[in-house]
Structure 1
Amino acid sequence: MSNASANLQAYRASLLHFHADPASHPDAHAWHADGLLVVEDGRVKAAGDHDALVGTLPPGTPLIDYRGKIITPGFIDTHLHFPQTDMIASPAPGLLPWLETYTFPTERQFMDPVHARATAEFFLDELLRNGTTTALVYCTVHKESADAFFEASAARNLRMAGGKVLMDRHCPDFLRDSPDMRDSEDLIKRWHNKGRALYAITPRFAPTSTESQLGATGELAKAYPDTFIQTHVSENKDEVAWVGELFPHQRSYLHVYDHYGLMRPRAMFGHCIWLDDTDFARMAETGSAIAHCPTSNLFLGSGLFDMAKADSFRALVSLGTDVGAGTSFSMLQTMNEAYKVARLKGSYLPALRMFYLATLGAARSMQLEGTIGNFVPGAEADFIVLDPKATPLLARRTANSDTLEETLFALALLGDDRAVCATYAAGQRVHQREAASH
């Protein structure tokens, strides 16, 4: 009879995870070329060298062999819109016309719970196919959209955060909300900290909220201090100018949110391209976080985020795909564009830093370190299996890699969903890539 727990599994592969930011710590990562990840009851039990750990496994423990591949924590995407899945890659000359022409008409459909659930199912499957196990997600103004998202997420036992959008002006009547927070409060009570769900209070952006709604949003955030807050700030110059006209008494676009009590730990601000030094300092001071969305920023021509400046102020930074203005669900493709944006801003983003930003860096930005983002004992066992030989070009390039940095860089610059061999959530496989036929 086996001595192994029915809920104990082990995975052999190269292991990579982080315990610090590579930008400020020379030994920020743990790398085990022949590693073993031990999972029990959906949580990490141990992670380290295979030879050191294999003897600790009870007889009969299932051991899945992924040698030749790399296991990392699941990717964490800190800014994207599930209702925009169906309008990804829609042509427009800028943010504001893109919203009017595509976004608002698409979001109108989410008052229908059947449509909302079908889209949520596809959206989550697409995230898992790309190795994203946690995301901070915008729904629409409709309660039905948030319920559909959380129901589909719960069915997969995923660590997901999201919320219904708040918007009560400068939008079509069919999407206009009110300053009343009852729907949001009902959703918080129904979903926040239930299973693996987390709720995010979600004002779309300052121009689409009256001062009355922003005030009520701040009160709701104060009443539920462990919820998330997510919104957009300083994405493009036209938007920044518009906010200046709408809120003439506030020092900056970011200060609008600060004025209403919306800057605090677990507050995530998308884009942050046109922040000034005072804004960056305030981000760091309040424990608020930045979601850098390079594919979206390039697609809409919004501008180039200054990662080096954010780092100089010790602001929390993570990566977001920002689907549907973002052009890929893949965090590897998002790393690719983040690297290029950094070069255009005169700085350099090493691959180790990019993988940090998509794992532990994002967990820290969301105040979830110890829960997700690395392989410390007790962390939830959300992880992915990356294949450095997923495509002929990747295989050829990584065969000539002399360092871990080179291999990771190739994955970031050449990889996409094909590089994700398998995705696990709470120790259960939720995606398996089919072998390519030859």
Structure 2
Amino acid sequence: MTQTLILGQVLDIHSDPFGSTPDAASRFDAHGGVLVEDGRILATGPADELRSRAPRATVEDHGQGLILPGFVDAHVHYPQTAIIASWGKRLIDWLNTYTFPEEMRFGDPAYADEIAERYLDLLIANGTTTACSFCTIHPASVEAFFIAAERRGMAVAAGKTCMDRNAPDGLRDDARSAYDDSAALLARWHGRGRARYVITPRFTPTSTPAQLEALGALWAENPDCLMQTHLSEQLDEIAWVKELHPEARDYLDTYEAHGLLREGALFGHAIHLEDRERDRLRDAGAALIHCPTSNAFIGSGLFGMARAKAEGQIVGLATDTGGGSSFSMLRTMAAAYEIGQLTGTPLHPAELIWLATAGSAASMRAPDRIGTLAPGSDADLVVLDLASTPAIAQRAGRAETIWDAVFPTIMMGDDRATAATYVAGRKLFSPHRG
């Protein structure tokens, strides 16, 4: 058994701060540590206590670095890595102009391998240790992502994106092949190491009822998988769904009618919801995934975090690469704060960090393994430099509380704030490693 003691400032947000107060939901040790054994967290607490408990542990001391759970990005499109920050389109135009042509390239396994490697390196450099990703219709794109993640020991979730209408030639499958390809990939990868399979219809406009029905059947046969898709991102998208499905009560009904609504469903965006949809999402135990940089970049609208949490919705946070404009969960937290201000409810730093860690982990039905510093959980950690730039350092220098100290990094930080990233207890990134 190998023990490592990782020292620094430790901020453990152990319960949902939306339901209590930031201080009641968290524990802060200015001289703390995380004791790791064979990839799992044994204990979190004051440094002196942990030194006494494990006198032979290898010590990695990060000084004033702030130790948090590794960030969990609950909705991404890794195949869009190379087209991030493409100019000025609404959702449907953006898909046709940028996304679909780029996704066509993933028919080449070598290209899929290249982008998967690049994407996961970018994640680790930004302190993100878990992502839930859409792939493309090509099984090779799923293989590439899981293989690259397995090489790094990362806990990831992903699935073949299924589309059988309203997509270009070369990016369409059909109901049968969507089921068969997904079932084969699921059998190969789900539960292998830290990998989890996600059944993945892109969204209702690109999946016929027959395909949604087939994927709902596959999910019923494999209920421990996740399911991810998009819901109510833009108003013109909702109008399109109503044209395609005049029989449906609302957008959500197009999924619900085919067995794609229950616990373990992750609905990206979910901005413009009707009252019935809100009630059903909460009652079903599905998750809403807030994608603030994407919602602003593509002009989708303002997600109502305060209302969602007050209703008892499960909410995760995500970059939505590459509709989102950053790979950084720090930048994503900053955008969530800004959107909270625009909707009249600014979010506290504890709430932002919780969304980017435990909240997203809960949306992925893995709250006891990722996004937490609890004993027994996987030792996925990020260490933040709270003085990573002169502007951040001068503001943090006036801090009187840990919240004052961390908030400038949330609002102005980027990959320069990542002092180290650990995956299953193994340091995969620090600035000195390049």
Normalising by the smaller structure, the TM-score range is over 0.9
Do the aligned partners of 2:7 and 2:62 also contact (CA within 8 Å) in 1?
yes
Q: CA deviation at 1:364?
A: 1.2
Secondary structure of the equivalent of 1:161? strand
1:52 corresponds to 2:49: yes
2:163 — aligned with what? Answer: 167
Q: CA deviation at 1:365?
A: 1.3
Gaps of 5+ in 2: none
RMSD across aligned positions (CA): 1.1
Q: CA deviation at 1:124?
A: 0.2
Work out the CA distance in 1 between the residues paired with 2:294 and 2:84: 10
- Residues 9-42 of structure 1: CA distance to partner in whole angstroms, max 9, x if unpaired? 0011111122211111221112111101100000
Work out the CA distance in 2 between the residues paired with 1:381 and 1:273: 33
Do the aligned partners of 2:78 and 2:135 also contact (CA within 8 Å) in 1?
yes
Of all paired residues, the percent bearing the same amino acid is 46
Q: CA deviation at 1:156?
A: 0.5
Q: Which amino acid aligns with 1:195?
A: G
Work out the CA distance in 2 between the residues paired with 1:277 and 1:74: 34
Work out the CA distance in 2 between the residues paired with 1:124 and 1:84: 13
1:426 — aligned with what? Answer: 424
Work out the CA distance in 1 between the residues paired with 2:39 and 2:426: 7
Gaps of 5+ in 1: none
Do the aligned partners of 2:13 and 2:350 also contact (CA within 8 Å) in 1?
no
- Residues 136-170 of structure 1: CA distance to partner in whole angstroms, max 9, x if unpaired? 00100000100010011101110000011010000
1:176 corresponds to 2:172: yes
1:313 corresponds to 2:311: yes
TM-score, reference length from structure 2: 0.97
Residue in structure 2 matching 1:134, options 122, 130, 136: 130
Work out the CA distance in 1 between the residues paired with 2:284 and 2:138: 30
Do the aligned partners of 1:16 and 1:30 also contact (CA within 8 Å) in 2?
yes
Residue in structure 2 matching 1:380, options 378, 381, 400: 378
- Residues 52-73 of structure 1: CA distance to partner in whole angstroms, max 9, x if unpaired? 2221113x32111111110000
Q: CA deviation at 1:92?
A: 3.3
2:245 — aligned with what? Answer: 247
Q: How many residue pairs get matched?
A: 430
1:21 corresponds to 2:19: no
Q: How does 1:3-402 map to 2 (within 5 A)?
A: 5=1, 7-26=2-21, 27-58=24-55, 60-180=56-176, 181-402=179-400
Secondary structure of the equivalent of 1:413? helix
Do the aligned partners of 1:424 and 1:430 also contact (CA within 8 Å) in 2?
yes
Do the aligned partners of 1:169 and 1:210 also contact (CA within 8 Å) in 2?
yes
Secondary structure of the equivalent of 2:300? coil
Secondary structure of the equivalent of 1:9? strand
> Is 9-18 or 235-244 further displaced after alignment?
9-18
TM-score, reference length from structure 1: 0.97
Do the aligned partners of 1:75 and 1:132 also contact (CA within 8 Å) in 2?
yes
